[in-house]
Amino acid sequence: VLFRSMELAAAIIANIVSNPGHWELAAIDKEGNCMHSSFAILQLMQLLSLVTPQCQVSVLQILYGIASSPKASEQVAAQIKSTDGIRTIIQFLERSETELRIVALKLTRVLSERCGTELLEELRHRNKLAFLTGRLQDHNSTTGERSDASCILANLPLSENEVREVLGPNFLKWTVITLKEQRISNGRTLRSSTCMAEGLLGLLLHFAKCTDPQTLSWVKENRLMAIFRDQLGILSQPRCKQLAVLGLKHLSALGKVLVSDEDSEISPPQGFCFPVVFMCGRATPEPLTCPIHNAPCEEDIQLCLLRSDCIKPLIDLLFDEQTEVQIAVVEALSTLIPDPSPFHRRAIDELDRLGVVDAVINLFIDVRPGELQEKTIWMVERSLRGENTSQRVALNQSLVRALGEALKHGNTNTRALAQDALTYLKQISGASGKIISGPIRLRR
């Protein structure tokens, strides 16, 4: 009777906390403890080892419910971590009872967003990483199990060695194929598969961040840049869009240091040209050179946003409703701006021609002080180093005012960049004619 009463009580509480509500602030005892207090979390964790499997399901559902609450998630994750609860929870991942295993995976997914490092340590210690990859690829697993497993793996700070050894080339190929299968005939993503798509994109991001030659060869073979680019036209969820853009950012940055075995056999040129030749490949006069990298960037091999037709999709996302997406886009576009060199002007002129400069300036004019402003003003300042661009926008008073506001209200780095940008504009403003006001019309 006691166990039945506990099962019923736990099931009722699990139902209450399954959605955000007044329970988040309500007291559960005379001392004023709430559901996400350290006292409540400790009691729930201790209860897991004392009750029946059915009651364990409800207790884990309670933990999942309060850990999913926006108001409580951070505190709950910290409490579970401090009570050694991660070790307790992952013991349920391989339980034979399906319902128990499913809710344990859901809870682990939520915790992976806050306690990725600690969770990875426990999974390593118990050799459970392979279990997660197996669960993800097992078609006998439920859709929820596979989605949760993908998100857990995506949230873990895997080392490059783990990406190679635990995931590997076959897993990468499987992930690419599975991500493509998330689409339906009208080009949209199934609503029920959003979590899965987020996890798969996060898994591809692990590969995109790797710098070792072996993993880079897998990345090129599977054309990850095209995969991320194509997802931008399909995805609607902000987190998925952010992950796809971050993938492009990392691949574009890696493209600057990627060199094939054939290129390495060639004697490297000296002087200013060497970094660019190393970035884009063989130094040869025959092929047309990429205006961004000033060297041949072969579309199917090299990791170049321009040659892979990624720039317009990124520009289209600059004015996304979510700041996190905008920041990722600016970071990705920033990889197109080379360090100061004899080729800097050509690259800026090309970005200007493509509409990147105007789009970034218009965004900068609109943004408030913060991370997005700081990242955007870096691009503005670098763009103004191009003579043609600086002459064209020198008398745009909206830009000048925005730079002045950044100089007043920005952080130290933003103020320094604003000062430099204003200096460039001041140097050539006297030679310009009609004053421009308002946003710049994007040239497409």
Reported as a single tens digit per residue, the pLDDT across 52-94 is 999 999 999 999 999 998 888 888 999 999 888 999 999 999 8
Specify the pLDDT at position 218: 94
Task: Report pTM.
Answer: 0.86
Specify the pLDDT at position 428: 67
258 pLDDT band, cuts 50/70/90, is low
Residues 367 and 361: their CA atoms lie apart, in Å, by: 10
Any residues with CB less than 8 A from the CB of 106 and at least 6 apart, and which? 64, 144, 148
For the chain, the residue count is: 444
Q: Answer whether residue 191 shows pLDDT above 90.
A: no
Mean pLDDT over residues 44-49, rounded?
92
Specify the pLDDT at position 181: 86
Q: Answer whether residue 161 shows pLDDT above 70.
A: yes
Specify the pLDDT at position 277: 47
Averaged pLDDT of the chain:
85
**Residue range 387-434, pLDDT digits in tens:** 888 888 887 899 999 999 999 999 999 999 999 999 888 876 654 444
Q: Which region among 131-140, 275-284, 367-376 has the lowest average model confidence (pLDDT)? A: 275-284
Mean pLDDT over residues 160-179, rounded?
96
Q: Which region among 11-15, 141-145, 288-292, 311-315 has the lowest average model confidence (pLDDT)? A: 288-292
Q: Answer whether residue 275 shows pLDDT above 60.
A: no
Specify the pLDDT at position 283: 47
Name the residue with higher pLDDT: 334 or 278: 334
234 pLDDT band, cuts 50/70/90, is confident
Residues 389 and 381: their CA atoms lie apart, in Å, by: 11
Specify the pLDDT at position 5: 83
Q: Which region among 160-164, 237-241, 385-389 has the lowest average model confidence (pLDDT)? A: 385-389
All structural domains of the chain: 1-126 (1.25.10.10), 223-258+274-336 (no CATH)
Q: Which region among 3-17, 167-181, 320-334 has the lowest average model confidence (pLDDT)? A: 3-17
**Residue range 356-370, pLDDT digits in tens:** 999 999 999 999 999
Residues 12 and 200: their CA atoms lie apart, in Å, by: 34
Specify the pLDDT at position 315: 97
Q: Answer whether residue 269 shows pLDDT above 50.
A: no
Mean pLDDT over residues 157-179, rounded?
96
**Residue range 96-132, pLDDT digits in tens:** 899 999 999 999 999 999 999 999 999 999 989 999 9
Q: Answer whether residue 206 shows pLDDT above 90.
A: yes
190 pLDDT band, cuts 50/70/90, is low
437 pLDDT band, cuts 50/70/90, is very low
260 pLDDT band, cuts 50/70/90, is very low
Name the residue with higher pLDDT: 283 or 220: 220
Burial of 265 (0-12, 13-18, 19+ CB in 10 A): exposed
